[in-house]
Amino acid sequence: MRFNLENLVRENIKAMKPYSSARHEFSGTASVFMDANENPYGSALPDNFNRYPDPLQRQVKEKLSQIKRVPSQNIFLGNGSDEAIDLLIRIFCEPGRNNVLIFPPTYGMYEVCAHVNNVQVKEISLTPAFQLDMEAIEQSVDTGTKIIFICSPNNPTGNSIERNDIEIILNNFDGPVVLDEAYINYSSQRSFIPELTEYPNLIVMQTLSKAWGLAGLRLGMLFASPPVIDLLNKIKYPYNINTATQHLVLQALDKREWMNEHIATTVKERELLKENLSRLDFTLAVYPSDANFLLVKMQNANTIYNFLCSKGIIVRNRSNINLCEDCLRITIGTPEENQKLLTVLKEYKPK
């Protein structure tokens, strides 16, 4: 493995001095805090929101470390996974010179973050079976390629990417390979987190927005080698995870049974919905899913999308995306919501 972080990181990132906050400079016990220009009277709210939050979110990381069986120093927390995607691009990619590889149809933020940073995006379409086109990938990697983004289970197709192909990329690409496992809790596949010790170039992203049901709190998790974590901490905004999020996440993480129960229901409902959608005359395909949604190909998907909207049911119209022509992405709802969707779809009369 030729992964050499020193050669991969942008010179300005290596050379810069990070911001040092008041909370960074003092971390012992004290009773009077006159170091951060905070309001000593508290606030109108009962919690200690007058104080800046822990910039390194140590308590949250400790708890996540136990749950994920990864040392705390391998964890970075972002304001959603989206923050981590942006930071990674800014650490590794020289604007106007470097490129990243993505495999569409996939999650849109890899491309958006690259473009915000004036970084070229090389798109290598998935195969019609929604797997990696390994030959095309090999041909597309060049000396300017700095990051490869793989989403598994993939959004919007729902399937997992072949483990063997991911391993081939990890073994052969010299730069960071970002594996986005946002939907891993709904999958029968194993997470790559245990492989962190084997691949120094592996970066795994997960989120509390899906299975943990905390999309509104914005907490994305990134697991990587400590030197990569240090770089992310070096350039992030000092207080990227607010106090309310840190407090509430600590409470939520104690409720793993809640999460496991709802994962089980969602997976069961997914298979049931898949079967029922397949039976509709105008359904052309329901693709296999390892996530909390189904990609469904339907005759005149645009018309069906508008029909569902008119009945107050909103799904995601993916029909104008390559390989997803006439496809809707449907999030698995509660049993009642899924039943309502089916009842409404049965009222739809194809022209």
Residue in 81, 225, 246, 289 binding ligand PMP, rule: CB under 6 A: 81
For the chain, helix, strand, coil in percent to 5 are 40, 15, 45
DSSP 184: G
CA distances 255 to 82, 198, 208, Å, are: 25, 31, 13
Q: Is 220 in the site for ligand PMP (CB under 6 A)?
A: yes
CB of 291 to ligand PMP, least distance (A): 8
CA distance 321 to 251: 39
* Residue selected from 207, 240, 246, 317 as contacting ligand PMP according to rule CB under 6 A: 207
- 294 lies in the binding site for ligand PMP (CB under 6 A): no
CB–CB of 103/296 below 8 Å? no
Phi, psi dihedrals of residue 71, rounded to the nearest 5°: -60, 150
Q: Which of 107, 149, 173, 212 binds ligand PMP (CB under 6 A)?
A: 107
Q: Is the peptide bond before 104 cis (omega within 30 degrees of 0)?
A: no
Rule CB under 6 A: say whether 86 interacts with ligand PMP.
Answer: no
If the CB atoms of residues 114 and 151 are measured against ligand PMP, the closer one turns out to be 151
CA distance 210 to 222: 15
Site string for ligand PMP, 151-190 (x = CB under 6 A): x---x------------------------x-x--------
Binding range to ligand PMP, per CB under 6 A, among 37-45, 78-86, 248-256, 257-265: 78-86
Residue 209 interacting with ligand PMP (CB under 6 A) = yes
Residues that bind ligand PMP (CB under 6 A): 80-82, 107, 151, 155, 180, 182, 207, 209, 215, 220
